[in-house]
Amino acid sequence: KNQVEQSPQSLIILEGKNCTLQCNYTVSPFSNLRWYKQDTGRGPVSLTIMTFSENTKSNGRYTATLDADTKQSSLHITASQLSDSASYICVVSAYGNNRLAFGKGNQVVVIP
Amino acid sequence: GAVVSQHPSRVICKSGTSVKIECRSLDFQATTMFWYRQFPKQSLMLMATSNEGSKATYEQGVEKDKFLINHASLTLSTLTVTSAHPEDSSFYICSAVPYGLAGRRGETQYFGPGTRLLVL
């Protein structure tokens, strides 16, 4: 079973609307959680990183939340733009090593 | 800062040939680099950990004789796919950890833009 589960697998939203992506993980001991944006045919680009003590982190129109007790995170996209069309990957790292656990990504398509 | 490049960005080769992919950290030194493979709509799958000056560590199921990794300097790691077959067609992504941070808390991996390999 994958240590990082993301939902929904894919979604289509209208330009200008908001959306929220979910990430549940089982990685332990927890070190940090990152949200990456991956455009088609490109490498992942980091959006936010949160450690155990952080509940929310923003990067422009992207706001990530973390509940370390329930091992859940969300990424909220505000006022979506066409350029937000991409896969959003939740990545969790365990304390003490460089190994990363990747989710399969949330595929977001923004339509005009 | 913290830019990682890959070359080539895409390559098409015939079955049976070898293909070399380069991963470079452009503005920092990296003692540790990672090689991933990603199939469509799938997660990044770690293939191997490349350590400067020593042998790479391969994940279970990854053939070390087929995927040769060389990390000859603090800014360059290469992945050579030997005797490529159509099933090796995939998106290969490298990442690098800045020198001094390897082994610390697992973060700060900077990803390259990826290399699309198509084996005919």
∠ CA A51-A5-B106, nearest 5°, is: 35
Whether B1 has a pLDDT exceeding 70, the answer reads: no
**Does position B76 have pLDDT exceeding 80, yes or no?**
yes
Residues of chain B with a CB closer than 8 angstroms to some CB in chain A = 4, 6, 32, 34, 41-46, 49, 91, 93, 97, 102-103, 105-107, 109, 111-114, 116
The pLDDT score that the predictor gives to residue A38 is: 94
Cis amide bond preceding A29, omega within 30: yes
Give the per-residue pLDDT at B101.
Answer: 57
pLDDT in tens, A14-59: 999 999 999 999 998 888 899 999 998 899 998 999 988 899 999 9
Contact B9, B117 (CB under 8 A): no
CB contact (8 A) between residue B111 and residue A2 = no
Largest separation between any pair of C-alpha atoms in chain B: 41
Contacts of A103 in chain B (CB under 8 A): 43
Interface contact A8, partner B, CB < 8 A = no
The pLDDT > 70 percentage for chain A reads: 97
Residues in B closer than 8 angstroms to A31, CB to CB, are: 105-107
Contact flag B116-A41 (C-beta cutoff 8 Å):
yes
Task: Spell out the alpha helix ranges (H) of B1-120.
Answer: none
- In this structure, are strands A10-14 and A106-111 parallel, antiparallel, or unpaired? parallel
Q: Can you give the pLDDT at residue B106?
A: 43
- H-helix or E-strand spanning residue A71: none
Distance CA A106, CA B56 (A): 31
Q: Cα–Cα distance between B54 and B31 in angstroms, integer? A: 10
Name the one residue in this structure whose structure tokens are 């939203």: A13
A89 contacts chain B (CB < 8 A): yes
Nearest-CA distance B107 → chain A (Å): 7
Tell me the per-residue pLDDT of B98-120, one tens digit each, with 9 for 90 and over: 876 554 444 578 899 999 999 99
